[in-house]
Structure 1
Amino acid sequence: MTENIQHQVAHRRWILFAAMLAMFMAAIEVTIVATAMPTIIAELGGFSQFGWVFSIYLLTQAVSVPIYGRLADLWGRKRVFFIGTSLFLLGSILCGFATNMGWLILFRAFQGLGAGAIMPLTSTIVADIYAPKERAGIQGWLSSVWGIAAIIGPLTGAWIVQHFSWALIFWVNVPIGIISMVMLARWLPDIKPQHQHRLDLGGSFWLMICISSLLVALLQAEALGYWSLLFLALALISGYALVRHEKQAKEPLFPLAIWRSRVIVAGNAGNLVIGAAMMGISAFLPTWIQGVNGGTPLQAGSALAMMSIGWPLASTLSGRLMLRTSYRFTAQLGALLLIAGTALLLTLQRDSSLIHAGCAAFVIGTGMGMTSTTFLVSVQNSAEFHIRGICTASIMFSRMLGSALGTALMGAVLNYNLMLRLPEQYDPVQQIMSEGERQALQHETLQQMITQVAASLHWVFVASLLIAALSMVIARAMPPRRPE
């Protein structure tokens, strides 16, 4: 029965619309908050804790994603989705009432715990109600939500803080989330597993310790200094304990079928690479435009938006391409575009136009959209119903982990190059990006700093290109057949 649910569900379009609403709610949260943060800091204070507003959200989301994925397989998608979405909406309401930065960080943690359910479960629900041959095109629609959110989010956030209280950027989630929950309550069948299962609490505990320690070490490496080594050691120890526990558990958090499937392992590896390569553009292309080219934040955001436009377009196209060719061909084409886009970043010069940077971002976005959709669809079509939730969640988690690893790796590459090239300058990137500090520098000093920062960023783009090249290797592990 569960394997053929897609043939029994009526109102599939309304279920898809509800899933897209929920995904939009979680996707827009990142961009809309980033735009409003200067206003929030001006009112609440606590600029030194600024980074934790974003880090804690990512941390709790990443920790909870695999657990929600497994719970969805054990308890049913509908029940777990409602739990996660309710937690997300509660956190959103509380964020609007925060009176200082400490409370805001705590409530953002609640939001992240809820968001950990929304992303994997919306994709899993859609995969459940559509046949394997239809999933390729439908997942492209879900991916388009991210592109729309990336464009609407900053504009909406700026408009809200200009005309209303900043609390509204959090409360706007509430009606969207309620509408999505009501629609799914009305039309989504409550398919429960045929046998009673229990969550692997021991595995969940070691997973949370491992992921939390690793992400804190990566995301807060600069602030922690050598203390980050302690968190890395804790991540290694808890990771070893997790592997050992999973081998002995009767019902492991990560079923053995996941690790025995070449397609599922390759899909996770591919998303890890995509997440890491993405940070080469998301984190450092704006630095190039503002610091090296002397552009404005609006120009940097416009160039980066091109990636958000290319991603959903390629995701939609990849669904049709998979049906005409194969998983492998589509993944390899996406990998080729990703490599070409990151190679274009290496051609940036100090006098390069904004169009040049935007074209590179667009090509990278198309490559990421095509590869990520192919990896996700291939994994979902390879996974049986009773493990589809954890398999989908593992894909989402792999991309988050890749983003954290990519940020740490490329940040280290940049800092190492700056230390070699500008040893006498303290935080040269900040100096050339801040308008006040930039104008205070002597002309010769400024030109030298820009030249050396540009050379350092080129090495970051080299690292991004090498990571992107791995996607071609992984793409070869995709099945040489079409979705059936």
Structure 2
Amino acid sequence: MSRQHTILITMGVMMSLFMASMESTVIATAMPGIVRDLGDIESFSWVFAIYMLTSTTAGPIFGRLSDLFGRRPVYMVAIAIFSLGSLLCGLATTMPMLIAARALQGLGAGGLLPLAFIIVGDIFTLDQRAKVQGLFSGVWGISSVIGPLIGGFLVDQISWHWVFWINLPPAAIAAALVWIAWRDPVRANAKRPPIDIAGALLLSVGIILLLLGLDQPTTPSGILMLSAAVATLALLVMVELRAPAPILPFHLLRDRTFAIACLHGILAGGVLFGSMNYVPLFAQGVLGTSATEAGTTLTPLMLGWVFTSIIGGRLLLRMSYRTLTIGGMVMFVAGAILMARLRPDMSRLELAIALGLMGIGMGASIPSFLIAVQSTVARNVLGAATASLQFSRTIGGTIGVAVLGTLLTNRLSAELAARGLQADAVPVEALIGEGATAMTLAGEPRLALAAALTAVFAAPLVFALLALAVTFLAPSHSPDDLRRKREQREEVTTAKEVAPQQAG
């Protein structure tokens, strides 16, 4: 592939990565305006969660399909679905319509997010990937964190509809660049394994049941759904272990690097995305900031993430990825400890330091694990392995958002009741958005929200500590070790592909 084509592809997938990951958080500062227009604050968390649900479920499916049918056609399908979902989100006139459109948007994003990293794994060598993957991880971090800032600006200056419509022009440009420049390699005339339809269905049903159960975990219906989710996911494991081309490659869990990377992704993703979605709410509802100002509170996280991703990619060529990830996770836990001490009189500097440390931790660990995994798996499962690693982070984030959303709802109701207030008697404007600025910071609804959010930010600390602990279990591979493991896997894969042809 020529250098010019490589540059065009990189630009295209970087744009699509930016959009898809931004949409997971851009909604945070737009929700106050959306709730004021559409009502139904009870569905607040579902606008976040449904996007993460569909993108989480779709990721492994798109990744495996790209192994079977090629990267370019699968990428085009994903970006078309994402664009349609973005258009419909901006046209929504009710909260159920918005949630349905966000589900479609998330479905497309579930293809774009892993495909960006899969394509990077295809077109770059290990040394190039260590540099470029850090840049891509930085873009992913920037877009995830800058989303609330962009959302706040668009809501304040134009309208919340443009939070979604802004995706349409860059999506068209990204699709054109990839379509023109990408050429899938010519495939051997080997028989293509069947699509794992059973695995895709079980994965979708299991994740939906899990999220529904987590929304009301203490109710009889919630317990029933959680039980059904466990049974469905157990059946999924059995099916995937027997499938010729499984959506989720559970056999790769025998590789310690892949297994630890996925476990780290679940734990760290839950802490990061679960907490990050509620920082702008704290800024608006407790500190009384505007939507744009609330978005800027996440800037330190963005800067820490980007800087460390770029520097870490280069350090990875000189040191063990395990050393880099452990150092990053120590920083991540330090930030989580500071976030657990969040309170109404917390200084902006303390909040910035906490978020900055968390950004540094993710910037050091995410690209390191990704590069290590892509360097150890065979090329014929590169898409499935990369998408599964992405899946681990998004499923962690999905669970984190759902659990913390339930915790926030329950604690807020309890705090309001303790102050002699009924939850349904407190208008939305009394807690979030511009209407809150008319109240004093000592207002009872504001104090109730502050107390509830304190519990929300304290809970993830346990999982941050667990994420650090599992990182110590990762094998220590130097860059040379990763190169040798990749060569060995390629030799094994080539032998398996040649053997049937020789037998025939």
TM-score (norm 2): 0.82
Q: Distance in 2 between matches of 1:259 and 1:397?
A: 14
Q: Provide the secondary structure at the position in 2 that maps to 1:11.
A: helix
- Give 3-state SS (helix, strand or coil) of 1:323's partner: coil
Contact 1:144-1:312 within 8 A present in 2 as well: yes
Counterpart in the other structure of 1:198: 194
Matching residue of 1:383: 377
- CA distance in 2 between counterparts of 1:339 and 1:12 reads 37
The verdict on how the C-alpha distance between 1:421 and 1:27 changes in structure 2, with shifts beyond 3 A counting, is closer
Does structure 1 residue 20 correspond to structure 2 residue 14?
A: yes
Contact 1:39 1:166 in 2 (8 A): yes
Instruction: Give ranges in structure 1 of 5+ residues lacking alignment.
Output: 1-6
Please, which of 216, 225, 228 is the counterpart of residue 221 of structure 1? 216
Per-residue deviation, 1:173: 1.9
Q: Which residue type is aligned with residue 365 of structure 2?
A: T
User: Are the counterparts in 2 of residues 77 and 191 from structure 1 also a CA contact under 8 Å?
Assistant: no
Contact 1:206 1:242 in 2 (8 A): yes
Shift of 1:121: 0.3
Partner of residue 466 from structure 1, selected from 442, 462, 466: 462
State the Cα RMSD in Å. 3.5
| 1:401 alignment counterpart | 395
Asked whether the 8 Å contact 1:326–1:479 carries over to 2, the reply is no
Q: Matches of 1:175 and 1:135 in 2, distance apart?
A: 28
Structural mapping, 1:66-105, within 5 Å: 66-105=60-99
Pairing partner for 1:63 from 57, 61, 70: 57
The yes-or-no answer on 1:120 pairing with 2:114 is yes
1:51: Cα distance to partner?
Answer: 4.0
> For residue 216 of structure 2, what is the amino acid of its counterpart?
A
Identity of paired residues, percent? Answer: 35
SS in 2 for 1:120: helix
Note the 1:401-420 alignment, pairs <5 A.
401-410=395-404
Residue number among 249, 254, 258 corresponding to 1:264 in the alignment: 258
- Out of 340, 343, 346, the residue aligned to residue 352 of structure 1 is 346
Of residues 334, 337, 341 in structure 1, which corresponds to 2:335?
A: 341
| CA displacement 1:268-289 (0-9 Å, x = unmatched) | 1111111122146314545655
Q: Does the aligned pair in 1 maintain the 2:29–2:294 contact within 8 Å?
A: no
1:137 corresponds to which of 89, 108, 131: 131
Secondary structure in 1 aligned to 2:317?
A: helix
Question: TM-score, length-normalised on structure 1?
Answer: 0.85
Structure 1: which amino acid aligns with 2:469?
Answer: V
Gap change, CA 1:124 and 1:482, over 3 Å in 2? same
Flag the 1:93–1:280 CA change in 2: closer, same or farther, 3 A.
closer
Could you give the per-residue CA deviations for residues 293-352 of structure 1, whole angstroms, max 9, x where no partner exists?
A: 666655543322211221111111111121121111101111111111122234556533
Measured in 2, the distance between the counterparts of 1:165 and 1:437 equals 19
C-alpha distance in 2 between matches for 1:53 and 1:411:
11
Is the 8 Å Cα contact of residues 93 and 170 (structure 1) preserved in structure 2?
yes
- The Cα offsets for residues 352-395 of structure 1, whole Å up to 9 and x where unpaired, read as 31111111111111111211111111111112111111111111
Aligned length: 473
- 1:289/1:87 CA distance change after superposition, 3 Å: closer
Task: Encode CA deviations 1:153-201: one digit per residue, 9 max, x unaligned.
Answer: 4454455556656544433322211211211122212125533122111
Amino acid at match of 1:180: A
* 1:352 match: secondary structure: coil
Q: Cα–Cα, structure 1 residues 238 and 339, in superposed 2: closer, same or farther, change >3 Å?
A: same
Q: Is the 8 A contact 1:150 1:305 kept in 2?
A: no
Return the alpha-carbon distance in structure 1 between the equivalents of residues 91 and 409 of structure 2: 38
Q: Is the 8 A contact 2:156 2:292 kept in 1?
A: no
SS of the equivalent of 1:197 reads coil
Change in 2 beyond 3 A, CA 1:440/1:398: same
Secondary structure of the structure 1 residue equivalent to 2:298: helix
- The residue type paired with residue 254 of structure 2 is R
Matching residue's letter, 1:273:
L
- Report if aligned partners of 1:327, 1:478 keep a CA contact under 8 Å in 2: no
Q: CA deviation at 1:143?
A: 2.0
Q: Per-residue displacement from partner, 1:187-228 (whole Å, max 9, x unpaired)?
A: 21212553312211111111111111112222x338x94422
Letter in 2 for 1:233: S
2-structure distance, mates of 1:442, 1:461? 20
1: distance between equivalents of 2:150 and 2:452? 35
Distance change >3 Å, CA 286–CA 129, structure 1 → 2: same
**Contact 1:342 1:464 (8 Å CA) reproduced:** yes
